[in-house]
Structures are given as C-alpha cells and as structure tokens.
Amino acid sequence: MPQWRQGLTKSLHKTRSMPESRYFQLATVDASGVPFCRTVVFRGITDENELVVISDTRSDKYNQLGQNSNAQVCWYFSKTREQYRFSCLATIITANQDISFVKQHWDKLSDAGKKQFLWGEPGTPRNDGTALQIEGSFDEVPPHFCVILLSIEKVDFLNLRGNPQNREWHQKDANGNWVSQSLIP
C-alpha cells in the first residue's frame, strides 16, 4: 500500500465521526478550458487506488470528464488539518457498460439518495414551486446513473499541524511504483 494511502486511511479513520470528512472537491474543465469545481460524496476507494463517486450522465461533470478525463481532487480534513490534492484520470462506467457494477452502487444508496436521480434532468428549471415529482423506481437503476472512478496518479499532501508544516509529493515512476519526496510547505 502506498505511503499516501496509509495516511489517507488514517485520516478517514480519525475523522469518521465527522460527516464532512466524506466530501471532497472535484475539479474538471469544460471544452473551452474553463474550470469547474464541485463537492462530491466519497463512496470508497478501490484496491487500484481509484476514488469512487457517483453521478448523472446528464450532468456537466459527466460531459466535462467525457471530453477531458483529467481531474483534480482537493480533500481537507479539518480535525487533523490535513489536505490531500490528487491528480486523477477519470473513468466513467454506465449501466450500458457494466450493469452489475453500477447496480451494486445504486443499491448502496438510501431512498433519499436515489430520489436525487429520479427528479428530472440536472440544471433544468424547476416547476412552479410544487414538490419535485419522482420519475422512475427505486428498484431499477436509471439509465443516466453512473459511477466515476478517479484513478490517482499524483498526490500532494500537506499537514498543517506543527511548525514547520509537513508536505509530501507522491507519484508513480515509469514502472508504476509509487515514489515519495518531502517538500518545503
């Protein structure tokens, strides 16, 4: 397990009682190179060091990652005062590509989480203020539900505790092995 992954595991463990530790910022760019940043929910990490998030194929995030798979993640843990910045390559998996994998993630969602994918198309105007109407069933994976795997390629870690603070750079070498370097914060 890479050194940075051991640190992330500890950070997640130390902050497990804090709901905000499950959220991180995901940055993408559109076709014009304009950056977009949004908060997403951490759904896990694979054995291949891929962060797992879910999304909607009708969203800007999906379209942007489809045009440019490069993404940046910034994850701050306030309790431990640690920041991880991950340079990632995104892979999007839709129900058409792997229904079993996608359904696995759909089934993990609460009914409240599933509702967000059954309200209608993201970014479209809301109706006259009445309650949002559910379109579909909680039992079936909607065709627009997808899973995004963010393969971590580089890690910039900063621990703000202490004086001086601690900063580390981690990246894969030509053989795919992780190498680390301490940096001046």
| pLDDT at 123 (0 to 100) | 84
Contact 153, 171 (CB under 8 A): yes
Residue stretches of the chain with pLDDT short of 70: 128-130
| Each residue's pLDDT tens digit, 63-113 | 999 999 999 999 999 999 999 999 999 999 999 999 999 999 999 999 999
- Please report where in the chains the tokens 């940096």 appear, as a residue: 183
Contact 180, 168 (CB under 8 A): yes
Whole-number Å distance between alpha carbons of 109 and 115: 10
Whole-number Å distance between alpha carbons of 26 and 129: 30
| pLDDT at 38 (0 to 100) | 98
Look up the pTM and report it.
Answer: 0.94
Domains of the chain: 3-120+132-183 (2.30.110.10)
Whether omega before 164 lies within 30 degrees of 0, making that bond cis, reads yes
Structure tokens at 73: 């993640």
Structure tokens at 42: 């951490």
| pLDDT at 120 (0 to 100) | 82
| pLDDT at 125 (0 to 100) | 84
CA-angle at 9, arms to 6 and 14, nearest 5°: 125
